[in-house]
């Protein structure tokens, strides 16, 4: 059988066990499209999307849920630019993925008039080079195989992220003249993890054991799910409270050492162990009324700070997402997936040698106090959630409470948004897979949620998206993807009929300038007319209900929606209209 260049790309995708390829169809990769469908037998499986931003977002969500890359295919320059914003968010969220592009034909004699010229860049990766880990535009079959193997390894090496590989149209469509040996993923597919240096390990262990009030801050540590259990063991051994910044699920909120009170916790700390905290300055700094860090710190004088992670390895001269520089007492370059086990073993070993009866008694006393405080805090949150309980439209806390009541008996996963942390206050996040991490910017959540749901398709887990209305307005076509590919997902609209974050900014600015608040809705409301999200969802095959404005209506609609998702294995949406806050 005649083989083509695009067949080689499919061989590589399947050799590396890439399960899905999300795409919006385009002429520049028609050869690769044909090879996936006819040569590969739809392996990897195509996830058809109405926009490249959705395709990249799905790959992003899949990576957050599984830790593994899938592919997103982007048509020429225009498709790459459509997906650029989603690529940037995947980069700052450390989501591994293979972005496959197409270019040309680079041979000018093969280009169609106008269109191929307008859609071809000399070096296409320039468009996203500042926010991918690596890009390449290989020329021949040997280069394609080499490039794919290296790109996969770079994407999966910590700190992980997207890579962009661009294939010329002529290469895809030309006949392969000879077989090309395929790389072996077992021989160089991924690097080993970076362990902690012995001297730094011993210093860290000594400081942790000497501390009377240690505090742990974790942001991206839970990207290795097994590390969550190790962090729990370390926190219990030290009786150290854990501030979970929720870049990933790092620590169960049902545990007495879990806290959301960063300010109150840090003011009593004599040691802070920061794990994968990208913006350490912002995490330790006091803030003003606009949430801007000030020169003061939340920690008392003399508090020792140890930073452990890989942040400096991904520092970009273009996107300064790492935050302001923070001085620390000990800065350790290591992968927490390896280092935390080493630190825990070191603490146990040295504590046994030191016969630490008094220290153990002190930690036991602290643990008892933290347990009591933790239970009291969760009780207060439940009480706060009942304020204006019968309001219509319902409060956001009532909405989140009703969703919890409907799903708590299921094996659930929350995709992204926690609704001003109400979900983290009221739900029981007890297992690492419950939540792949906090939501990101507007125009990301529905696509990431689809990727998470795709990752759990066929597992029986109930995947839930608390979906902001402003976010869905960017990519409403994403709803079609769930129906077309039969991806079970429960979407509960967090519908305050506004871009409310901007509403708050406009109101704050008007107050500061002594101006009327009457015009605040201009330019930020999503009303007049109010979109009918249930009708939109039904139009593309979803079970959908709403809008509902009371908790009683919402609970009944949620019960029906959960049954549809779990029994019929198809998506369902409930449009819950809430108060602005």
pLDDT at 3 over 80: yes
pLDDT of residue 356: 60
Question: Do residue 361 and residue 391 come from a single domain?
Answer: no
pLDDT of residue 109: 81
Which CATH number goes with the domain that contains 73? 3.40.50.970
Average pLDDT over the chain, rounded to an integer: 94
Question: Do residue 415 and residue 557 come from a single domain?
Answer: yes
Is position 318 within any domain?
Answer: yes
Cβ-Cβ contacts under 8 Å for 436 (sequence gap 6 or more)? 61, 64, 65, 248, 249, 413, 415, 416, 452
Is position 66 within any domain?
Answer: yes
Is position 381 within any domain?
Answer: no
Question: Do residue 390 and residue 536 come from a single domain?
Answer: yes
Is position 193 within any domain?
Answer: no
Across 313-461, the runs of DSSP E, i.e. the strands, are: 330-333, 412-414
The percent of residues above 90 in pLDDT, for the chain, comes to 83
- For residue range 93-149, list pLDDT tens digits in order: 999 999 999 988 887 888 888 878 877 888 899 999 999 999 999 999 999 999 999
- Residue 224, Cα to own-chain centre: how many angstroms? 13
| pLDDT tier, 324 (very low <50, low <70, confident <90, very high otherwise) | confident
pLDDT of residue 581: 65
Question: Do residue 369 and residue 392 come from a single domain?
Answer: no
Judging by beta carbons within 10 Å of its beta carbon (0-12, 13-18, 19+), is residue 3 exposed, middle or buried?
middle
Domain that holds residue 54: 5-173
pLDDT at 31 over 90: yes
- For residue range 503-528, list pLDDT tens digits in order: 888 998 999 999 999 988 899 999 99
Q: How far apart are CA 496 and CA 509, in angstroms?
A: 21
Question: Do residue 156 and residue 224 come from a single domain?
Answer: no
Is position 226 within any domain?
Answer: yes
Per-residue b or e along 203-231, where b marks 16 or more CB atoms closer than 10 Å to that residue's CB: ebbebbbebebbbbbbbbbbbbeebbebb
Question: Do residue 418 and residue 467 come from a single domain?
Answer: yes
Phi, psi of 395 (to 5 degrees): -70, 160
Q: Is residue 279 within 8 Å of 320, Cβ to Cβ?
A: no
Overall number of domains in the chain? 3
- For residue range 55-81, list pLDDT tens digits in order: 999 999 999 999 999 999 999 999 999
Q: The pTM is what? A: 0.96
Is position 380 within any domain?
Answer: no
Per-residue pLDDT averaged across 384-399, rounded?
A: 97
Residues in the chain: 581
Question: Do residue 230 and residue 151 come from a single domain?
Answer: no
Q: How far apart are CA 538 and CA 265, in angstroms?
A: 47
Is position 208 within any domain?
Answer: yes
Question: Do residue 154 and residue 81 come from a single domain?
Answer: yes
Question: Do residue 560 and residue 532 come from a single domain?
Answer: yes
Residue 484: count of CB within 10 angstroms of its CB: 14
Q: Is residue 81 within 8 Å of 127, Cβ to Cβ?
A: yes
* Domain end point (choices 325, 350, 374): 374
Q: How far apart are CA 231 and CA 33, in angstroms?
A: 44
User: Could you tell me which residues are beta bridge partners of residue 175?
Assistant: 4
Q: 81 is written with which tokens?
A: 């630019």
Per DSSP, the three-state class of 66 is: helix
């Amino acid at each position: 059988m005649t083989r083509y260049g695009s067949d080689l790309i499919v061989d590589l995708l399947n050799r590396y066990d890439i399960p899905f390829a999300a795409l919006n169809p385009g002429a520049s990769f028609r050869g690769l499209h044909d090879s996936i469908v006819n040569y590969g037998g739809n392996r990897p499986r195509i996830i058809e999307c109405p926009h490249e931003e959705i395709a990249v977002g799905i790959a992003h969500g899949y990576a957050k849920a599984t830790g593994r890359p899938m592919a997103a295919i982007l048509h020429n320059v225009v498709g790459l630019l459509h997906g650029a914003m989603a690529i940037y968010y995947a980069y700052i969220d450390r989501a591994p993925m293979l972005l496959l592009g197409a270019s040309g034909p680079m041979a000018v004699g093969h280009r169609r008039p106008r269109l191929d010229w307008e859609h071809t860049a000399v070096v296409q990766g320039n468009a996203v080079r500042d926010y991918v880990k690596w890009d390449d535009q290989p020329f021949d079959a040997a280069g394609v195989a080499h490039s794919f193997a290296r790109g996969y390894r770079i994407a999966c090496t910590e700190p992980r992220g997207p890579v962009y590989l661009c294939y010329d149209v002529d290469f895809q469509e030309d006949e392969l003249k000879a077989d090309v040996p395929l790389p072996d993923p077992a021989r160089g597919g991924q690097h080993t993890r970076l362990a902690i240096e012995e001297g730094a390990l011993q210093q860290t262990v000594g400081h942790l054991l000497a501390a009377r009030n240690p505090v742990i801050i974790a942001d991206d540590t839970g990207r290795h799910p097994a590390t969550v259990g190790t962090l729990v063991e370390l926190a219990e051994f030290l009786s150290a409270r854990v501030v979970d910044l929720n870049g990933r699920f790092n620590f169960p909120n049902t545990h007495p050492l879990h806290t959301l009170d960063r300010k109150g916790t840090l003011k009593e700390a004599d040691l802070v162990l920061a794990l994968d905290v990208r913006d350490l300055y912002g995490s330790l700094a006091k803030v003003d009324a606009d949430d801007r860090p000030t020169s003061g710190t939340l920690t008392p004088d003399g508090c020792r700070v140890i930073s452990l992670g890989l942040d400096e390895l991904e520092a970009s001269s273009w996107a300064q997402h790492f935050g302001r520089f923070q001085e620390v007492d000990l800065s350790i370059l290591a992968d927490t997936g390896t280092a935390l086990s080493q630190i825990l073993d070191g603490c146990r070993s040295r504590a046994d040698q030191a016969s630490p009866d008094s220290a153990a008694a002190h930690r036991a006393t602290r643990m008892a106090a933290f347990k009591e405080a933790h239970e009291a805090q969760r009780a207060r949150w439940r009480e706060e959630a009942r304020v204006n309980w019968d309001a219509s439209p319902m409060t956001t806390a009532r909405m989140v409470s009703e969703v919890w009541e409907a799903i708590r008996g299921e094996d659930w996963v929350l995709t992204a948004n926690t609704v001003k942390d109400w979900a983290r206050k009221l739900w029981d996040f007890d297992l690492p897979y419950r939540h792949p991490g906090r939501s990101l910017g507007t125009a990301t959540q529905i696509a990431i949620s689809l990727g998470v749901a795709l990752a759990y398709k066929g597992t029986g887990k109930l995947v839930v998206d608390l979906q902001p209305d402003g976010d869905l307005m960017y990519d409403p076509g994403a709803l079609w993807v769930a129906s077309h590919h039969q991806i079970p997902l429960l979407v509960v609209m967090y519908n305050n009929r506004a871009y409310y974050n901007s509403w708050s900014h406009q109101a704050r600015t008007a107050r500061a300038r002594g101006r009327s608040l009457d015009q605040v809705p201009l330019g930020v409301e999503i009303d007049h007319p109010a979109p009918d999200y249930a009708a939109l969802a039904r139009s593309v095959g979803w079970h959908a209900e709403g809008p509902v404005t009371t908790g009683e209506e919402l609970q009944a609609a949620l019960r029906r929606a959960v049954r549809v998702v779990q029994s019929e294995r198809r998506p369902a949406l409930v449009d819950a209209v809430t108060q602005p806050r």
